[in-house]
């Protein structure tokens, strides 16, 4: 036997997990034994093991039976429930995230690694508990399963999975119901006197976290071939089978638990990568670049009007990432557009490595003129030839396995690269094979600087000069131990003939930076230790000149941009931006320059909570009349574009308490000594009761008037001022739509819109909280959508389910490039649809709406 507890211990622990009485669970176990559902056995420490099948039965009994006496009947009925088929276009309850993708693949049936074909509810639940118990498959359950739902009011159950549906991320319910010839349990059958307390007829939900916790308590047999849940394991496909083999090997090492934790984290990385891959189009794939012995794919990004002899940066992704997702997270193509260099993105194949890691630990893939290093070298040659790039300014960087492969490229082809940057990586030749690779990342391998240096010198016949190296690592990294950064520094310090003591130490953006200079004072090695950061690359997302990238799994928004700092270390930012270097095209590139080198300061419209420049103030600046000196209007402006002074002044003028025209002469930036005169007046008048009558008469119209003043138009939405529930206090938008109440059935939608002019490559971001209640039947729905000119760019739709976001969720870098250089209508919409007289509603709280690279507002 492996793992788990005996029955007597299991029931005690299960009671604690479910929040039930231990006495209650013991009685249910007694009923299972006396009813013949479970074979009797001795009590105490000699009791039989708690198998996944036993656990599934007891779990069903505890969740489905309203009363203890109904335990046996509940288990027999619910365990035998049959699955309702799920097919594309069906009405299976689900929650959809993101806009629908209009592709041929969008209508295909959702693909799950965990298969439930032909299994009853009890068999499926037992199989999931077994998968949760086994180390090699536990991460799969954590990534795919959302939870288990049992309805006590009718014999219905559901297993809810997270997957891709119609091109969107979704939580999909696999529902189970009675077989055609089956009968409901007695307490639900009126013909058998079903009379039970209606208060107990509710839906019970078990999240995946608790199911895994329960699965860990069960006992697996040494021979699992007879288990009825084995089809779930056997149907896992070749990709998961390969991961399973890797996990089995890793489990035999002292670091099995850390490997399991890393696998679980990588599932989130993979999910984000797949989402980006379905939308990203900034990279171009190149084929026929050489013999390609490593069987890699080649992607690149080349800015328009790339200068002659421009630099080249080779970017290597990490495990389960892709070229497109790494570019999205790191922002390298954004920096390339700003400063005029080309970017090459080699991409690993799944069939080369089941986690899509670069094989830095394999001897056949870390030698010169072999495998993956040669494939990448051939890609570099193709880029240099096709785009007339500078062979003396080729650089390489990567994170995690990409960081390890960066060291491989620097060691095997040092004559090709002028510099490299290793992020959360390991030294060259730290491992031979997977087992040593795991030891290296989880524990680290210590060698003397000379030993490390000899490994690099033996990789080629190169005698120097050697590439300069930037090393980045988070000191809270549990996936790749931070000691690997120090060992990497040892390796390259020996290569450059430097002492281990750094020449300079300083703080940059709050993080320690060390620098090793050569005899001529040139910086040859730098190291950033990002305190408090876990595994991944350090980012400072945003539109300012020093910012780029998108926060995501393994891309950590910690206030410093590794991408920007690395490019600066290599000297790529020393020249003027690409648009400024070509006088013939500088006018055409002005929009791009505003988006990139001055993005955020001059190219972001803030429709959220932050403050921005007043249009009137911009027009009164003397330099605005000089051609070429006017910056695009910034969006770091009024809350939701609100002219608060204008609203107060207009109200005072309407009440006859302020002379007309006064508001047009006043600006918040020019208020005497920063004194808010209208605010003082209005507050004083309210305190004196002078405005009481006016405020009572127009209270219901104030939100709509404020929205209209700020440029928003529509109904069903309010502007909540000084609301403590706002993301960071202050103001936020609130929308509400309902159906099924007060006799109103069918689709009901409420929306607000505003006009805005976009630049060349605009992006949208915002924060939100949603409450979508559509859990009436399989046909009721509630949704929140963000639209541009009527096209959905972001969406959450609940069908037959309830979806609540109790914490603020940030949606960042929503690509609006297809609407570039247009004046568009931005719309926020909440909608509900009920087919019965039961209320279905959608509520949305939205804050910090930002459009990067917005040129102007039609009404602001």
Helix boundaries (H) for 537-688: 562-570, 590-595, 615-620, 644-654, 677-688
Q: Which long-range contacts (CB under 8 A, 24 or more apart) does 57-60 make?
A: 57/32, 57/122, 58/10, 58/11, 58/14, 58/25, 58/28, 58/29, 58/32, 59/14, 59/125, 59/129, 59/206, 59/214, 60/121, 60/122, 60/125, 60/150
Instruction: Give me 490's structure tokens.
Output: 């040892």
Strands (E) in 520-627, as ranges, are 523-530, 537-539, 555-557, 604-606
Q: What is the CA radius of gyration of the chain?
A: 31
- Between CA 545 and CA 619 the distance in angstroms is 24
Pairing of β 342-347 and β 312-316: parallel
Instruction: Give me 181's structure tokens.
Output: 């010839």
Residue 415 CA, distance from chain mean position:
38
- Between CA 404 and CA 424 the distance in angstroms is 8
Our answer to whether residue 649 is catalytic in this structure is no
Helix axes 371-387, 401-412, angle to 10 degrees: 80
| 3-state class (DSSP) for residue 795 | strand
3-state secondary structure 657-678: CCCCCCHHHCCHHHCHHHCCHH
Task: State the catalytic residue, choosing from 322, 333, 400, 470.
Answer: 400
Residue 160 CA, distance from chain mean position:
20
Strand order in the sheet with 342-347: 284-286, 297-301, 342-347, 312-316, 394-399, 419-423, 468-474, 523-530, 511-517, 504-508
Q: Is 634 exposed, middle or buried (0-12, 13-18, 19+ CB in 10 A)?
A: buried
- Between CA 66 and CA 194 the distance in angstroms is 12
How many C-alpha atoms does 489 have within 13 Å on its Cβ side?
24
Instruction: Give me 231's structure tokens.
Output: 């089809």
Residue with tokens 């410093």: 560
- Between CA 28 and CA 68 the distance in angstroms is 6
Nearest to 141 by CA among 249, 16, 255, 233: 233
Instruction: Give me 776's structure tokens.
Output: 């009436």
- Between CA 423 and CA 445 the distance in angstroms is 17
How many C-alpha atoms does 152 have within 13 Å on its Cβ side?
21
Asked if 824 and 790 touch (Cβ cutoff 8 Å), the reply is no
Helix axes 237-251, 135-144, angle to 10 degrees: 130
DSSP state, residue 535? S
Instruction: Give me 523's structure tokens.
Output: 């910086």
- Between CA 94 and CA 753 the distance in angstroms is 28
Asked if 360 and 408 touch (Cβ cutoff 8 Å), the reply is yes
Nearest to 783 by CA among 794, 793, 772, 791: 772
Instruction: Give me 399's structure tokens.
Output: 């994170």
Which H or E run includes 10? helix 7-18
Neighbours of 361 (CB within 10 A): 24
Asked if 218 and 3 touch (Cβ cutoff 8 Å), the reply is yes
Q: How far apart are the first and last CA of the chain?
A: 70
Catalytic site positions: 400
């Amino acid at each position: 036997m492996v793992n788990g507890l005996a029955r007597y211990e299991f029931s005690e622990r299960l009671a604690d997990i479910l929040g039930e009485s231990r006495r209650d669970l013991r009685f249910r176990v007694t009923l299972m034994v006396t009813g013949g559902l479970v074979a009797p056995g001795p009590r105490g420490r000699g009791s039989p093991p708690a198998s996944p099948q036993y656990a599934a039965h007891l779990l069903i009994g505890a969740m489905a039976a309203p009363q203890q006496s109904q335990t046996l009947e509940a288990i027999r009925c619910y365990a035998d429930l049959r699955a309702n088929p799920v097919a594309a276009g069906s009405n299976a309850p689900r929650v959809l995230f993101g806009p629908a993708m209009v592709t041929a693949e969008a209508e295909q049936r959702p693909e799950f690694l965990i298969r439930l074909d032909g299994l009853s509810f009890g068999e499926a639940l037992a199989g999931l508990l077994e998968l949760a118990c086994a180390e090699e498959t536990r991460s799969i359950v954590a990534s795919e399963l959302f939870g288990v739902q049992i309805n006590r009011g009718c014999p219905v159950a559901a297993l809810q999975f997270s997957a891709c549906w119609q091109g969107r991320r979704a939580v999909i319910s696999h529902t189970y119901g009675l077989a055609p010839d089956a009968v409901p349990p007695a307490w639900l059958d009126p013909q058998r006197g079903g009379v039970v307390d209606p208060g107990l007829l509710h839906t019970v939900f078990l999240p995946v976290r608790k199911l895994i916790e329960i699965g860990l308590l069960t006992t697996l047999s040494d021979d699992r071939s007879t288990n009825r849940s084995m089809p779930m394991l056997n149907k896992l496909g070749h990709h998961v089978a390969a991961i399973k083999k890797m996990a089995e090997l890793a489990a035999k090492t002292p670091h099995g638990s850390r490997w399991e934790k890393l696998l679980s984290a990588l599932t989130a990385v993979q999910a984000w990568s797949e989402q980006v891959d379905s939308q990203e189009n900034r990279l171009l794939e190149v084929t026929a670049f050489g013999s390609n012995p490593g069987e890699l794919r080649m992607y690149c990004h080349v800015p328009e009007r790339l200068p002659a002899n421009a630099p080249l940066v080779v970017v290597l992704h990490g495990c389960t990432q892709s070229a497109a997702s790494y570019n999205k997270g790191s922002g390298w193509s954004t920096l390339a557009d700003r400063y005029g260099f080309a970017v090459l993105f080699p991409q690993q194949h799944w069939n080369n490595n089941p986690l899509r890691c670069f094989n830095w630990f394999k001897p056949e893939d870390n030698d010169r003129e072999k495998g993956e290093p040669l494939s990448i070298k051939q890609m570099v040659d193709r880029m240099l030839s096709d785009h007339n790039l500078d062979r003396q300014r080729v650089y390489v960087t990567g994170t995690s396995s990409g960081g390890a492969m960066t060291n491989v490229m620097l060691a095997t082809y040092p004559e090709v690269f002028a510099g490299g940057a290793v992020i959360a990586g390991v030294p060259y030749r730290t491992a031979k094979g997977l087992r040593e690779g795991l030891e290296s990342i989880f524990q680290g391998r210590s060698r003397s600087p000379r030993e490390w240096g000899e490994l690099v010198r033996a990789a080629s016949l190169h005698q120097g000069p050697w590439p300069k190296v930037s090393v980045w690592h988070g000191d809270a990294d549990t996936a790749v131990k931070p000691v690997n950064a120090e060992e990497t520094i040892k390796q390259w310090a020996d290569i450059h003939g430097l002492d281990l003591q750094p020449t300079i130490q300083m703080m940059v953006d709050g993080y320690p930076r060390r620098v090793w200079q050569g005899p001529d004072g040139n910086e040859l090695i730098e190291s950033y230790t990002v305190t408090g950061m876990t595994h991944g690359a350090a980012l400072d997302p945003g539109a300012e000149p020093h910012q780029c990238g998108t926060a995501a799994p393994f891309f950590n928004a910690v206030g410093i941009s590794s991408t920007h700092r690395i490019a600066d270390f290599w000297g790529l930012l020393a020249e003027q931006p690409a648009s400024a270097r070509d006088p013939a095209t500088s006018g055409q590139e002005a929009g791009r320059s505003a988006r990139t080198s001055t993005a955020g300061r001059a190219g972001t419209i803030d429709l959220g909570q932050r403050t921005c420049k007043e249009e009137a103030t911009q027009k009164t600046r003397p330099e605005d009349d000089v051609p070429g000196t006017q910056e695009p209007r910034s969006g770091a402006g009024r809350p939701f574009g609100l002219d608060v002074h204008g609203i107060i002044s207009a109200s005072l003028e309407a009440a006859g308490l302020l002379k007309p025209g006064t508001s047009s002469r006043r600006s918040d930036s020019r208020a005497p000594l920063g004194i808010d005169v209208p605010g003082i007046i209005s507050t004083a008048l309210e305190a004196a009761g002078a405005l009481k009558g006016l405020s009572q008469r127009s209270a219901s119209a104030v939100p709509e008037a404020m929205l209209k003043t700020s440029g928003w138009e529509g109904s069903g939405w309010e502007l909540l001022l000084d609301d403590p529930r706002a993301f960071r206090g202050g103001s936020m938008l609130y929308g509400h739509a309902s159906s099924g109440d007060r006799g109103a059935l069918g689709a009901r939608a409420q929306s607000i819109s505003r006009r805005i002019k976009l630049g060349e490559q605009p992006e949208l971001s915002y924060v939100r909280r949603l409450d979508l209640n559509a859990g009436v039947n399989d046909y009721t729905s509630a949704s929140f959508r963000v639209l541009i000119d009527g096209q959905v760019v972001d969406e959450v739709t609940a069908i037959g389910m309830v979806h609540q976001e109790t914490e603020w969720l940030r949606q960042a870098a929503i690509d609006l490039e297809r609407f570039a250089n247009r004046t568009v209508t931005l719309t926020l919409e909440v909608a509900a649809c009920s087919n019965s007289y039961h209320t279905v509603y959608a509520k949305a709280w939205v804050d910090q709406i930002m459009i990067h690279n917005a040129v102007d507002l039609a009404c602001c």
